[in-house]
Amino acid sequence: MKENNKLCTLTRGIIKENPVLVLVLGTCPTLATSTSVSTAIGMGIAATIVLICSNIFISLLRKIIPDSVRIPCYIVVIAGFVSVVQMLVQAFVPDLYTALGVYLPLIVVNCIILGRAEMFASKHNPLDSALDGVGMGLGFTLTLTVMATIREVLGSGSWYGISLPFFSTYNIPILTKPAGGFFVFGCMVALVAKITHGKVKHTATGCTSCPNQEACAKLAKEA
């Protein structure tokens, strides 16, 4: 039961509560960095690291942080981690730093991180929060990678910068533009909505102990 709970915490970020496609958080960095697979993965990993760290930290501090100033506290913590990650990336992976550009510091205002801090980490123990961070981060990274794969392969005719034979001749450049990003985004939201709609019904009983059951059900209903 308990193991199941942990697993639920870890995996639900991937599809069922996918931060980008189901919770519709972090759309801006998603659209901006999903033009190529390399930036998408970089962004996903950077955001995941910040997410895990801030989740653990906020979970540890959840009893100390007074309700009235919790948002400023979260922001300071998140901003601190982002700055640390930024400096580390700049120093040791300068190419990724250039590629991520302005989106790296913008992780501070990535609503996935603040959203999970507010929705999850502030109510759960550090282990659960870390797992949630891993799950959500994984979901974010996977979504970005899939989206970037679609956009880069069809839009630029390459994958991870490697030119693909057929696609480089017949590409759809609009997919690399914001409009194409929204299009792919919309298609993926629709697809995931379709998938989760069936799944949630099926596994409803298995998730009774899941703390997010209520939210899950509500989301499934809305979807």
Partner 1 sequence: MKKENNSFSLVSPIIVLVLIGSIVTGALALTNQITAPVIAEQQAKAAEAAKQVVLPDGVDFTAVTGVEGLPAEVISVDEAGNGAGYVITTETKGFGGVIQAMFGIDADGAITGSKVLVQAETEGIGSKVVSDGSSFQAQLVGMTDPSNIQAISGATVSSTGMTNAVKAVFNAYTVLNGGTIEAVVYAPPSNMTDEALAEYYSGVSFTDVVGGKTSDQGTVVYAGAQGLQSEVKVAVCFDQNDKIIGLIVDASGETPGIGDKAAEKAYTDQFIGVESGDAVDIISGSTFSTAAVKDAVNIAIANLETVKAAPETDAPVLAPVETIAPVEAPDADALLEELYPGVSFTDVPNGKTSDQGTVVYASAQGFASQIKVTVCFDGNDKIIGVSADASGETPGIGTKAGEKEFTDKFVGVKSADEVDAIAGATVASAAVKDAVNSAIENLAAVKAGEGLPEAPAESEEPVATIAPAEDDVTITTSAKGFAGQVSITVTFGSDGVIKSLSAKAPTETQGIGSRAVESSYTNKFIGAKNGNAVDTLSGATLTSTAIKNAVNHAVKAFQAGKSGNVPPAPEATPEPVEPPAPAEDDVTIVATAQGLLSQITANVTFGADGAIKGLSVDASGETPGIGSKAAESSYTGKFIGSKNGNSVDAVAGATVTSTAVKNAVNAAADAFKSGKTGPVSAAGSAATPAPAETPAPVEETPAPVEAPAEEPAAGPKTITASAQGLLSTVNVTVTFDANGVITALSVDASGETAGIGSQAAESGYTGKFIGATNGDGVDTIAGATVTSTAVKSAVNSAAAQFKSN
- Site of interaction with partner 1 (CB under 8 A): 61, 64-66, 68-69, 72-73, 76-77, 79-80, 83-84, 87-88, 90-92, 94
Q: How far is the CB of 90 from partner 1 (least distance, A)?
A: 5
**Bridge partners, 162 (sequence order):** 159
Q: How far is the CB of 91 from partner 1 (least distance, A)?
A: 4
Nearer of residues 94 and 186 to partner 1, judged by Cβ: 94
Name the residue with tokens 């979901």. 139
Nearer of residues 75 and 219 to partner 1, judged by Cβ: 75
Question: What is the DSSP code (8-state) at residue 175?
Answer: G
Q: How far is the CB of 72 from partner 1 (least distance, A)?
A: 6
Q: Supply 113's token pair.
A: 């991180």
Q: How far is the CB of 128 from partner 1 (least distance, A)?
A: 22
Nearer of residues 7 and 87 to partner 1, judged by Cβ: 87
**How does DSSP assign 110-130, residue by residue?**
-HHHHHHIIIIITTS-HHHHH
- Alpha-helix runs per DSSP H in 34-177: 37-60, 70-92, 94-100, 111-116, 126-151
Q: How far is the CB of 96 from partner 1 (least distance, A)?
A: 12
Nearer of residues 41 and 89 to partner 1, judged by Cβ: 89
Return the sign of the alpha-carbon dihedral for residues 105, 110, 112, 114: positive
State the burial class of residue 55 (Cβ atoms within 10 Å of its Cβ: 0-12, 13-18, 19+).
buried
Nearer of residues 76 and 190 to partner 1, judged by Cβ: 76
User: How far from each other are the two terminal CA atoms of the chain, in whole angstroms?
Assistant: 28
